[in-house]
Amino acid sequence: MPAVPDADAPHSEEEVTYTMPSAEELGALLPQYEIHRIIGQGGMGTVYLGRQPALDRLVAIKLMPAFGAGYEEFANRFVTEARAMAKLVHPHIVSVFDFGQTQEGHLYFVMEYIEGSNVHQLIRDRKLTEDRIKSLTAQLCDALQYAHDHGVAHRDIKPANLLVTSEWQIKVADFGLAKQLRGSATSDENEYGTPDYSAPERFIAGALSDHRADIFAVGVVLHEMLTGMTPAAAQAAASKPALHPIYASIISRCLMSEPALRFQHAKDIRSLLLTQHSSPVHSPAPYRPPIHAPSSAPLPAPKRNANGTFAAIALALLIGGVGIFWLKNHPAKENAPVEPIIAETTPKTPPPPIEAPTPAPKPTAPSGPLPAWVVPDGPPGEIGQLVGHTAPITAVGILPDQGRVVSASSDGTVRIWDPKEMRELQLIRSQGGGIARATISPDGTKIAIGTVRGRIELIDLAAGSSILSDPLDQSLQLSGIHFSPNGSTVLMTFFENENGIYSWLADGSQRKPERLEGWNFGIYDLAFLPGSADEFLTIGSHRREVGEPAGPPKREVGVGSLSARKMTSRLAADALPGSRIKFSKDGGLLAVTTPDILLLDCADGSRYKRLKGPSGYHQAQFLDGDRLLLSHGFESAATLWDLDTGESVLKLNAEGHALTNVAINATESWAVSGGFFDIAKQGAPPDHDPAHFSLRLWRLPDLTTLGSDRGRERLAMRQSKNLEEIDPEVAALQKAALTDVPVPDSAAMNAQLQELNAKYNAALDRSLVGASPRDELDIRAEKDRLTINAPLPADDNEVGPVMQRFRQIYRLQLQQLEGIRNTAAAESAIAFRTKAGPLLQRRNSADDQVGAERIRVTEKRMARALSLAEALNPAAIENDPARGIRSLTE
């Protein structure tokens, strides 16, 4: 058998590219199992979720690539893992049920499916209390003692390989590096495992290693659970975490460089851990567990992660510690239609009546930042309400700490809430009564409000007081308030033709708002152009005045500039047929809403897609890397759309509560909404029951599991045009590859073309001597063509044989010029592939699908062969993603 390929060495595409079977294909290969879906992929293959009908149980099926069976070391590791896990029957070790090889040569084994999380994820989510850490460590020691007693050392103990069920039971997984102890220590043969968790003797060539390497890893894992970082990371940290002396003693003994000085048995760690109590000690830096134990916190079933990590079983079985291949092709999700998830509001008894608030509630003290709220896992849907407002909600937001919610209401108050405890933290009373419009500054320090009595206020949320306040004409109809992306300016828009837009500096230096020139029409909505804190897009209409002919309002679309203080261009009125606009996060798409949702490609202005279904006023928000779009408005349901298929994949239903305002947290795991009930449920105007005006908290599903996978390549293609800002890591690798293998740019290509044309022109001059009248006419016409840089004709039927031969030679030289450029591009792309291989591997392991796709798309773009015309005049990589929108002129 050949040796397993070196993962760090460059390979041809054939060596690193393979496709694993889809769920349907594997079902045909393993008919005794129902195959549901792929749940993870990594260096040792792919893991599928399946069901064993004969025993009516879910299973995880680990499948090695068919070519892997031909590599002895690779296949041996796979077989070792299966046999080691099958040999060890223990409640804290993942069980193996079956092993074999498919007809197509894939080695596979079938194991227990663990529904839960893993220690790595629990550390990141700060869900480990001191009691849980002690319990999990004791269970780990039980499992290792059992394995060691049966002659097996794991050799890759780390948090990602320690699964945790919903009952807080640990399951040790990934025995890919396990070794039979045979009663004595053995050398590691260069199988080092994961460096941070590997004992020192495993890095010494020829050194003997035994079960005490697992003891070392237990010490590292215990340290990481207690402090959030490995001992190596703690040593490098500026502020080193403090440990209680009991834990420090256990960990330091586990981490002794000499195996003989460590604990000799895992059971010894367990005994010491469970018999000691970490009572407080008088110390300048006493031990503090990562979090306080919640009153009731069962471990959730599978963990969501907006950042895209693997499901627990896949992460534990596949990342780190094994020979990982650079996966050239990341398997796509199955393209079967996905039924929308309906997240209904759970029927509940209305909150008990509370005393009616006073007309002017007293302001409360400012609230400080809170830890980011991590929502307990569970099904998507409503998970609570924030009760206090006594009139419709006009704005909601989540502050930058991700632990507080802010809201504004027509009851005249701004309130800050703790969503975790579902309580009000701070109340700020506006100076001008009911709040009609409001928006929060990008940094979360201010809120700008417009009241129904015609007053504009800028409020400092930390101080709970106004920075600026200015009375406006009460008859003015304010349509919106907007902060510039850098937070320096507040823009106010109005429905009336003569008012348009006013600007106000947010630092308090400008006493009164200033009207911007050029908008002689009412504004519906405003959005800053992608990447700009100066230019913005407006949509609205010119309302017909008294005496004007009857008819619908005339639509108006314009681009304005803060620095110019005016509208700089008018666009075609029918280009944006809606009342609300929203750019995607990467600036590649523009959503125009009402009555449908029209999506425009910002690069060329073309219509990308129209989403059917919503009715009435609604807004849009792009989610999950701009793959999905959430629409919400006066309806009692918010709809999540897959932008690739145009299908609805999720609905949040609120029982008649209009979802006019929705804010989503940074990790896209929870949301808060505010609006109003319809008049039938709200009751007569005097009825100010706060139950009618509550903010609703929503748990969102793992958005990465919704919709199709085909939109990611399109997203990565758009993002690859602005790599330095979106993905500087890939941009740096691209720059390094171009430094190693330069590719002629348009300036260099033009210089070479000019040199070639000069030689061609000189040859034509020489041929004029003694030329026939016909040839002289052809030659002089060719020289004139060169002078004005006119393109070479497609055929030579109009010229004589002499000029035909000249052009034949000239075309060959042009082809050589084009070939030199394209050869360099291909070689530069290969250099990039080599440099980006480890990064691609890491992103695949972390399930960063869009990030991995950006690497693949960047390589494709670098390798793309260009015609000479394209190379001489490439489309400029503009810092204006919205250039296509600008092109929609009247």
Catalytic residue annotation? 156
SS3 387: coil
Tracing tokens 């990611």 back to the chain, one arrives at 712
What burial letters (b/e) apply to 531-547, b meaning 16+ CB within 10 Å?
bbbebbbbbbbeeeeee
Largest CA distance in the chain: 110
Q: Which helix (H) or strand (E) holds 153?
A: strand 152-153
Bond from prior residue into 471 cis (ω within 30 degrees of 0): no
**CA atoms of 805 and 685, how far apart (whole Å):** 90
Residue 438 has phi, psi (to 5 degrees) of -160, 155
Contacts 24+ apart (CB under 8 A), 788-796: 791/869
**CA atoms of 497 and 340, how far apart (whole Å):** 43
CA dihedral of residues 797, 802, 807, 809 (deg, nearest 10): 140
**CA atoms of 414 and 408, how far apart (whole Å):** 4
Q: Which helix (H) or strand (E) holds 61?
A: strand 57-63
First to last CA, the chain: 69
- Other Cβ atoms less than 10 A from the Cβ of 666: the count is 10
Tracing tokens 């440990």 back to the chain, one arrives at 243
**Structure tokens, 592:** 């125009």
Classify burial at 697, counting beta carbons within 10 Å of its beta carbon; exposed 0-12, middle 13-18, buried 19 or more. Answer: buried
CB 266 within 8 A of CB 144: yes
CB 855 within 8 A of CB 816: no
**CA atoms of 884 and 588, how far apart (whole Å):** 10
Tell me which DSSP letter residue 692 carries. G
Half-sphere exposure (CA, 13 Å, Cβ side) for 687?
Answer: 14
Q: How far is CA 438 from CA 148, 392, 478, 485, in A?
A: 64, 13, 10, 16
> In sequence order, what E strands does 362-464 have?
381-386, 393-398, 405-409, 413-418, 423-429, 435-440, 446-451, 455-460
**CA atoms of 98 and 230, how far apart (whole Å):** 36
User: What single letter denotes the amino acid at residue 180?
Assistant: Q
Tracing tokens 């001008």 back to the chain, one arrives at 432
**CA atoms of 865 and 818, how far apart (whole Å):** 9
Q: Which helix (H) or strand (E) holds 623?
A: strand 618-623
**CA atoms of 103 and 383, how far apart (whole Å):** 49
CB 737 within 8 A of CB 826: no
**Structure tokens, 355:** 């005393």
Which distant-in-sequence residues (6+ apart) come within 8 Å of 649 by Cβ?
338, 340, 341, 628, 640, 641, 642, 706, 707
**CA atoms of 621 and 629, how far apart (whole Å):** 6
- For β-strands 647-653 and 341-343, DSSP reports them as parallel
SS3 346: coil
Half-sphere exposure (CA, 13 Å, Cβ side) for 258?
Answer: 2
**Structure tokens, 890:** 């009247």
User: What single letter denotes the amino acid at residue 605?
Assistant: G
- Other Cβ atoms less than 10 A from the Cβ of 138: the count is 18
User: What single letter denotes the amino acid at residue 116?
Assistant: G
